[in-house]
Amino acid sequence: DFLILCIGRHSGTPNIPEFPANKGPELFKGKILHSIDYSYMDNVAEFVKGKSVTIIGSGKSAFDIAAEVAKVNGADQPCTMIYRTRHWLVDKSSIWGINLSYFYLNRISQLLVHKPGEGFLHYLLASALSPLRWAITKVIETYFKQRIPLEKHGMVPDYSYSFAMSSCLIALLPEGFYDRVDEGSIILKKSKKFSFCGNGIIMEDGNECIKSDIVILATGFRGDQKLRDIFTANWCRNIVVGSSDTSVPLYRYRLDNFFLVGIFGGQYILCYRIHFFFLRNCTTT
């Protein structure tokens, strides 16, 4: 009755940035790898030890890798993390022994978020409780801004914690990350664009060259492309991939509405509306 695609968003489709001619990886004399290759390595400590490592990106992978490299090389051989967007990476905080995430990463909090295709009751509930949602996320945002030295390091995201929460964009900050930045083991640099030169990375302004032995592209994945490529009709591709302002189109944005149940001979047979309770279990476990 159902075809469920569990093909992941993070396997087999590394996102490798494209570069204009004479500015790409072909110029670089060091090693370049994507974060997924790094994660498959057996002995990363040995690989990065004593090397100048530059990490591109500011997602969970970039933070994790920077923290790991900093642990191996310390301030003697700092690694550089080049980011273009600041994201909400927060730590495991608790108030009076209660894990803070319990306040917003729970099923009840999902009732406070509008969803395409929601029923009238859900619409009413989400609308009536939106001030509560705003208040909860504002308090948590303020709390994290005070607790984590984001401002000090110029890492306060440009979007609200509320948006991060409703788009499932929040990730866990590696332990002691900003201590490593303070001690000089990690250097954070903002640059909207980057390119390669013989001995490293050139930043957006073109003036600064970050000398590197190893460049790790923690630039994410093309999970959307993988899903899109499975289908041939454009309307179907758009349904599956969803809107571009969320990282989790299948969760909440699509599965709630339609479910593609079969493809035979290139024809899409049916889009079923899935039973409410099935969906709840399917999307939240």
Ligand X SMILES: Cc1cc2nc3c(=O)[nH]c(=O)nc-3n(C[C@H](O)[C@H](O)[C@H](O)COP(=O)(O)OP(=O)(O)OC[C@H]3O[C@@H](n4cnc5c(N)ncnc54)[C@H](O)[C@@H]3O)c2cc1C
**Does 284 participate in binding ligand X (rule CB under 6 A)?**
no
Among 58, 73, 80, 109, binds ligand NAP (CB under 6 A): 58
**Single-letter code of the amino acid located at 107:** R
Among 13, 52, 54, 61, binds ligand NAP (CB under 6 A): 61
How far, in Å, CA of 6 to CA of 160, rounded? Answer: 30
Q: Which one of the spans 5-13, 24-32, 115-123, 136-144 is the region binding ligand X (CB under 6 A)?
A: 5-13
Of 160-219, binders to ligand X (CB under 6 A) are none
CA dihedral (120, 282, 59, 133) in degrees, to 10, reads 30
**Does 58 participate in binding ligand X (rule CB under 6 A)?**
no
Among 3, 4, 7, 270, binds ligand X (CB under 6 A): 7
Among 2, 3, 8, 135, binds ligand X (CB under 6 A): 8
Instruction: Identify what 8 binds: ligand NAP, ligand X, none; CB under 5 to 8 Å per kind.
Output: ligand X
- Which residues neighbour 229 within 8 Å (Cβ) at sequence distance 6 or greater? none
**Does 35 participate in binding ligand NAP (rule CB under 6 A)?**
yes
Among 54, 58, 61, 219, binds ligand X (CB under 6 A): 61
**Does 64 participate in binding ligand NAP (rule CB under 6 A)?**
yes
| Minimum distance from residue 235 beta carbon to ligand NAP (Å) | 26
Relative to beta strand 171-172, strand 89-90 is parallel
| Minimum distance from residue 94 beta carbon to ligand X (Å) | 20
Q: Which one of the spans 40-48, 93-101, 148-156, 215-223 is the region binding ligand NAP (CB under 6 A)?
A: 215-223
Instruction: Please answer whether residues 38 and 216 qualify as being in contact, where contact means their C-beta atoms are separated by less than 8 angstroms.
Output: yes
How far, in Å, CA of 41 to CA of 51, rounded? Answer: 16
CA dihedral (110, 115, 119, 125) in degrees, to 10, reads 50
**Does 15 participate in binding ligand NAP (rule CB under 6 A)?**
yes
Bridge-partner residues for 217, per DSSP? 34, 56
CA dihedral (157, 162, 166, 171) in degrees, to 10, reads 40
Instruction: Please answer whether residues 224 and 241 qualify as being in contact, where contact means their C-beta atoms are separated by less than 8 angstroms.
Output: yes
Relative to beta strand 53-56, strand 79-83 is parallel
Of 143-182, binders to ligand NAP (CB under 6 A) are 171
Q: Which two tokens stand for residue 150?
A: 């984001």
Q: Which residue is nearest to ligand X (CB)?
A: 8
How far, in Å, CA of 121 to CA of 127, rounded? Answer: 10
- The residues that touch ligand NAP, with contacts defined as CB under 6 A, are 10, 15, 17, 35, 56-62, 64, 84-85, 171, 218-220
- The residues that touch ligand X, with contacts defined as CB under 6 A, are 6-8, 10-12, 39, 61
